[in-house]
Structure 1
Amino acid sequence: MKLQKRPDANKLSLAGLLISLGIIFGDIGTSPLYVVKAIFSQGTIEKNLILGSLSCVFWTLTLQTTIKYVWITLQADNKGEGGILSLYSLVRKKAKWLIIPAIIGASALLADGMITPAITISSAIEGLAIRNPDIPTVPIVVVIISLLFLIQRFGTSVVGRVFGPLMLVWFSMIGILGLLYIVRAPEVFQALNPYYAIKTIVDHPQALFLVGAIFLCTTGAEALYSDMGHCGKANIRVSWLFVKLMLVFNYFGQGGWLMEHVGTQMGDVNPFYAIMPNAFVGYGIIIATVAAIIASQAMISGSFTLISEAVRLNIWPKVAIRYPSDHKGQLYVPSINLILYIGCMLIVAVFQHSSRMEAAYGLAINLTFITTTILMCVFLLRVHISKIWIVIFGVFYFTIEVVFLAGNLIKLTHGGWLTLLLASTLFTVMFAWYGARKIKNSFVRFVDIRPYFPIIAELSEDQSVPVFASHLVYLTSANNKNEIESKIMYSILNKKPKRADVYWLVHVDVMDNPHTREYAVEQLIPQKLIRIDFKLGFREEQRISLLFRKVVEDMVEKGEIDITSNYNTLRKHGFSGDFNFVVLEKIIAKTHALKWHEKIILEIYKTLKRFSLSEEKGFGLDSSFVTLERVPLNIPTTKDVAIKRLQ
């Protein structure tokens, strides 16, 4: 039975195209602010290098963004949703090891979410130094980033409505500015020939440095896939045609400016602002700042969505997730908002200038690209694409992305270390949480529930046992309806026997589909023991208390259950019986028998547990109706205990 039907919001439309411009292309759309500057920050401007670099940028956007993401990866459509964890959900049953690339990709994306606001907003604000060289830009950047993170708690749906038109202005502006310089140096169109890109990579003495800088033009390509659920693949593909054209115009326009300055050194000049007419620079800085804020907002919102998915998939601690508005997909994760803000402030404090941040940028998203390629190869196998094409896809993109990785690793000592540190920290959190759950589950023992049916039925009617609750609800992880955790049976029968009119078993199954919301009911003992299986998508909020109440109301309405209290007075007046949830918090009492790496994972898990939501809050239960029982999973038995009795 379905609890909710999800409307289709992904059809091709003018509104969808505008939304795509506003929330999909912000990161990749602001890359002209710093890419050309990063490429030519060192050494003398040379004609061959200009053509080679522009050729590399064009073919990177074509091969990496257009073909890999817009054309191929968007085909990995998980019921309209995309992103690294959506892709993992599609293939996770193929092999257990796929969790590793999924976690690496997710942690790298979160690290990218910290760097994007810092570098884009810094690059935009530094345009103020064109007319006021002594102006301190860092405090302005700090204030803007602080305000951006502050408003997250109030929701951004109102701001989101104007994102599309504002980004339309941005892309139109950069395209027109680029064209104005292209007409002055039309020879830049020679860069469309891939010969110049290959020659530059093969011949240039600092080829790896250039590759690392060129890679920055495609950062944000992952957002095309991650935000597919907000816009739909048709809107993304059509709007990308416009976005790519405007980006190429601007890059080639900056190349035209460079052609006029061959033989000189660029110094602190940013070609992005240099191609603007002097009278327009002030307006250009304002529009660039707005675009940078929109790009940052998109990354922050994407990080919230990513964490909500990670929580459902049990690879991130259970954290508070709020819904500040009724806007579709709008959510706010306070803990992640704080983590991203601290990360941004750390990057601004360490590097201060965007030219130094460029060294830290790119490495994290490069790792995400590689992990996406791994998962896509498995996905293509799943949909029965010819293995020859899968091998060609895998070898081609692994080669490109490993070359980019080598270029980004060159920047490791210049700032890439911070990216790696941030991503590694996030990976440790995810892997430890996932690993600890696996370790704990290995100690859970299940028993056949059917032999207990007569005992449970008798206990329910046993007047010598005081009533614990009219309705007693247990959350169970048993997938098989005929099985139950031995600890639950111990809780009902041994640990202070719990008498109830009706016993309920609730099982939650996180589905590979993002927006599934269904349930099934089975009366194991009619009117005495009832099992409810919820099937919830990995993007659905697990408000078990509310969902359970809805199911019970439906059952009462259909006459499947009578929840009227059995207390004489209350029954006489038609009052419902009380409900009590029993949550078993599984703990590992002794760790001496575990392997060394398992002990480390559990120690990290214990630390993370202090900052995560409690078991009952994690499942959306009202704590006033919850009994929490701590259950040791590995209690030593008396079997191996040797002791001598004296008398």
Structure 2
Amino acid sequence: MQSTSTTAFHKHATPAGVLIAIGIVFGDIGTSPLYTLNAVFHNRVITEDVALGALSAIFWTLFFQTTLKYVIITLQADNKGEGGIFSLYALIRRLFGKWIVIPAMAGGAFLIADGIITPPISVASAVEGMQKISPHINTVPIVVCILILLFIFQQFGTDKIGKIFGPVMLVWFTFIGVLGLMAMSHNFAVLKALNPWYAYVMLSQAPGGFWLLGSIFLCTTGAEALYSDMGHCGRNNIRVSWIYIKVMLILAYAGQTAWLLQHVGEEIGTVSPFYHIVPDAIYLPTLITATMATIIASQALISGCFTLINEAIRLDLWPRHRVVFPGNIKGQIYIPFINWFLMAGCIGMVLYFRESTRMEAAFGLSVTLTMIMSTILINFYLYTKRFPVPAIVLITGLFLAIESAFLTANLQKVKEGGWITLLIGSCLFIVMVVWRSGRRITTSLKKIVTVDGYVELLKQLSTDNNITKYATNLVYLTSSGSPRRVEKTAIDSILSRSPKRADIYWFVHVNVLDEPYSMHYRVDTIVKNDIYFIEFNLGFRIEPRIDYYFRQVVNDLVKSGEVDVSGRHEQCYQESRIGDYKFLLTDSFLSFENDMPFVKNFLMKSYFNLKYISVKEWVNFGLDPSNVTVEKYPVVVTPVAYTPLLREH
């Protein structure tokens, strides 16, 4: 059940909420008028059929893909108030088997790949407006500098500057709408293109008409953000604001189309049709506003990538990285590794393509694949909500048909540069597959034993004064969710290596929930004042600060009398009521004693390499390094069958 506050948050639309949604959600889709029609007519002579057909196709793409699929249908699939492809996966994974993770990982991987091309093309398309003033200006250094500053700024959070996102984007959308209205004031007949017939004429009769869908698709590339940002803005705030946004977008595209109809038989050149409809008197302010809008759009997408990766980490689909919470806004996070990875990718894109018209070749292909994956997941979500089967088939079939057409048209971009985002997305997908598979294999090899069989030994060790006390409280993190079962490596660590005497042994399990913000725990007393099991149940967006949570739980247990520490001799010398505590982590490494087939060998070596460069367990669980000891143990997947040695006589 959703909480009352979450339901109210999504149910009500407020002026402040709508303004926030305009600033956060629609940056990507709101800057698409800068380059969409420019992509359609790149190296193409302007014709009336293509101009009107492009406007018609844009209108109906925004209707089907953005309004119908995301605003009306997909926003219903909220996971305790949160949205995004991994939230959707977490919502349905228990009902449809393990394979459902494949489209979730693929969709997430290609969405991150899109995060590498969107900031460069958005910023470049705005900055290139300077070429109308100075045709020979080199915009590459300017774009690179803006991107570097943008990524450097991420570590400081967006608390303060985020407050101007909404007003700036409201000004931007109002401006492009008014600009479009002015541009078509002498030719309102251009609105006849809203008739789908014109799209059909373009696709069926214009030379290469069908392949223009690859460029038309750019008008809806930001639609996925509508769903991903639902937790920040609220469902109805997004829906209400979209009404205004869509009207302004259509006016902007219609105004550019009116200009195109005035220049039939010509080529648009290097400057986007958007800048051609800007009056000279306000050209420079328009250039500045457009650049600010693209920076905000890029900021929103970068933040979305951080959220996406954090969810993947919590769901065990991605190697662990250090996650920082730089601001006071709920859900605002910063992941240094991903930040610099995205920055390197974005700068590489700018240096490789140099112009936004060339970047358009790589843009859109990865998002199309993401949308297809989200359609597959939404199909299963509709089943969970007991929609009529004919309705599910109709909805899924409609969106798959549309997105398959866009994908087919976008495939022509592969040789023109689309291979880059495909390669990046595929590599990210492989990383997810390797990490998930490696985790599953190593987890399956862990031997789980019943604590009850070792209770007497642990009690005896706890009171054996002949052995130096290791810690007052010795804490083991365990992957076992059962209070009576733990890894054999933990028991061996206590008893078999160098026996570790402690007053109390704690086994702590962290359970990541399918919902985002839950925080609760339970305690199982195995032997009072000797052995306890704690399970922390944390939402997949909660930072697991286990050190802090553990101290809080133990203090609560002492207050309630469930733990009695009054008999400790050293208590009078220590400020803490619970005494000292030591977290002992067991970490695995791939043993040389393996004889695996090639594929499994590659998989496991890749997994342990990823594990080596990922953040350490004590960092991931928010543990103070002064209280942590790490013990290594080997992983043997397929033992080597050695030939026995023969002794010489």
Of 171-180 and 416-425, more deviation after overlay is shown by 416-425
Matched, 1:83 2:84: yes
Give the TM-score normalised by structure 2: 0.95
Report the more deviating stretch, 118-127 or 585-594. Answer: 585-594
Provide the residue aligned with 1:467 in structure 2.
Answer: 469
| Residue in structure 2 matched with residue 614 of structure 1 by the alignment | 616
What is the CA distance between 1:597 and its match in structure 2? 2.1
- Aligned-CA RMSD value: 2.3
The correspondence of residues 573-612 of structure 1 with structure 2, limited to 5 A, is 576-590=578-592, 592-612=594-614
Contact kept in structure 1, 2:594 and 2:639, CA below 8 Å = no
SS in 1 for 2:160: helix
Q: 1:452 aligned to 446, 451, 454, which one?
A: 454
1:385 alignment partner, one of 374, 384, 387: 387
**Residues 577-635 of structure 1, C-alpha deviations (whole Å, 9 max, x = no match):** 21011101023314744332221122222322232111211211111111111122328
Residue correspondence of structure 1 range 216-615 to structure 2 within 5 A: 216-563=218-565, 566-568=568-570, 570=572, 576-590=578-592, 592-615=594-617
1:406, distance to aligned residue in structure 2 (A): 0.9
Query: Deviation string for 1:248-275 (max 9, x for gaps)?
Result: 0000111111111112222223110111
Displacement of 1:184 in angstroms is 1.5
How far does residue 104 in structure 1 lie from its aligned partner after superposition? Answer: 1.1
**Number of the residue aligned with 1:147:** 149
The alignment partner of 2:631 has SS state of: strand
> Which residue identity does 1:320 align to in structure 2?
R
Question: Which segment drifts farther, 587-596 or 12-21?
Answer: 587-596
Structure 1 residue 27 corresponds to structure 2 residue 14? no
Amino acid at match of 1:53: A
Answer whether contact 1:84 1:102 (CA < 8 A) is retained: yes
Report the residue type matching 2:196 in the other structure. Answer: P
Counterpart in the other structure of 1:123? 125
Partner of 1:135: 137
Are the counterparts in 1 of residues 35 and 125 from structure 2 also a CA contact under 8 Å? yes
* 1:136 Cα deviation after fit: 1.6
* Distance in 1 (alpha carbons) for counterparts of 2:257 and 2:648: 94
| Correspondence 1:44-63 to 2 at 5 A | 44-63=45-64
Partner amino acid, structure 2, of 1:405: L
The worse-fitting range, judged by mean Cα deviation, of 615-624 and 515-524 is 615-624
SS for the counterpart of 2:33 is helix
Q: Per the alignment, in what secondary structure is the counterpart of residue 587 of structure 1?
A: strand
TM-score by length of 1: 0.96
Residue matched to 1:12: 13
Instruction: Give the gaps of 5 or more residues in structure 1.
Output: none
1:203 CA displacement: 2.7
> 2-side partners of 1:636 and 1:237: how far apart?
54
Of residues 169, 172, 175, the one that matches 1:173 is 175
Deviation per CA, 1:427-459: give whole Å up to 9, x if none. Answer: 222222112111111211112222222222222
Which of 100, 104, 107 lines up with 1:105 in the alignment?
Answer: 107
Q: Which amino acid aligns with 2:581?
A: F
CA distance in structure 2 between the partners assigned to 1:574 and 1:586 by the alignment:
33
Residues 213-252 of structure 1 show CA distances to partners (whole Å, capped at 9, x for unaligned) of 0000000100000010100001000000000000000001
- Deviation (angstroms), 1:641: 8.4
In the alignment, the residues of structure 2 paired with residue 473 and residue 6 of structure 1 have an alpha-carbon distance, to the nearest angstrom, of: 39
Letter in 2 for 1:420: L
1:65 — aligned with what? Answer: 66
- Measure, in 1, the Cα distance between the counterparts of 2:537 and 2:396: 34
Structure 2 counterpart of 1:628, one-letter code: V
1:96: Cα distance to partner?
Answer: 0.8
SS in 2 for 1:198: helix
> SS at 1:336's partner residue?
helix
Flag the 1:574–1:91 CA change in 2: closer, same or farther, 3 A: closer
Q: How many residue pairs end up in the alignment? A: 645
C-alpha offsets along residues 113-144 of structure 1, whole Å, 9 cap, x if unaligned?
Answer: 11111001100001111111122211111111
Question: Which amino acid in 1 is paired with 2:66?
Answer: T
Deviation sequence 1:385-443 (CA, Å, 0-9, x none): 12221111221111111111111110111110111122122222222211211111121
Stretch of structure 1 that moved more, 475-484 or 606-615: 606-615
Distance change (3 Å), C-alpha of 1:53 and 1:459: same
Change (3 A) 1:174 1:565: farther
Tell me the CA shift for residue 208 of structure 1.
3.8
Change (3 A) 1:476 1:573: closer
Please report how far the alpha carbon of residue 638 of structure 1 lies from its aligned counterpart in structure 2 after TM superposition.
Answer: 12
1:471-528 Cα shifts (integer Å, max 9, x gaps): 1100011122221111111111211121111110100111000111110011011121
Q: What is the one-letter code of the residue matched to 2:144?
A: V
State the one-letter code of the partner of 1:282.
L
Match of 1:627 among 614, 626, 629: 629
Q: Which amino acid aligns with 2:600?
A: E
- Report the AA paired with residue 438 of structure 1: R
Partner Cα distance (1:639, 1:143) in 2: 58
Per-residue CA distance 1:290-328 (angstroms, 9 max, x = gap) = 100000000111111111111111222211111222122
- AA partner of residue 554 (structure 2): V
Q: Secondary structure at the match of 1:244?
A: helix
The 3 A distance-change label for structure 1 pair 10 and 524 is farther
* Alpha-carbon contact 1:113-1:300 (below 8 Å) kept: yes
Aligned-partner residue type, residue 520 of structure 2: E
Alignment partners' CA distance in 1, 2:91 and 2:472? 41
Distance 1:449 1:293 in 2: 56
Quick one: distance in 2 between partners of 1:184 and 1:8? 44
Q: How many Å separate the matches in 1 of 2:361 and 2:327?
A: 37
Using the alignment, how far apart are the partners of 2:8 and 2:544 within structure 1?
20
SS in structure 2 at match of 1:627:
strand
1:469–1:406 distance in 2 versus 1, CA, 3 Å:
same
Per-residue CA deviations over 1:147-189 (Å, capped at 9, x if unaligned) read 1111111111111001000000000000001111222112211
Alpha-carbon distance in structure 2 between the residues aligned to 1:480 and 1:644: 46
Q: Secondary structure at the match of 2:16?
A: helix
Q: Which moved more, 1:116-125 or 1:607-616?
A: 607-616
Distance, in Å, in 2 between the alignment partners of 1:315 and 1:138 is 36
Identify which range, 425-434 or 154-163, moves more after superposition. 425-434
Alpha carbons 2:214, 2:410 under 8 Å: kept? yes
Q: Secondary structure at the match of 2:131?
A: helix
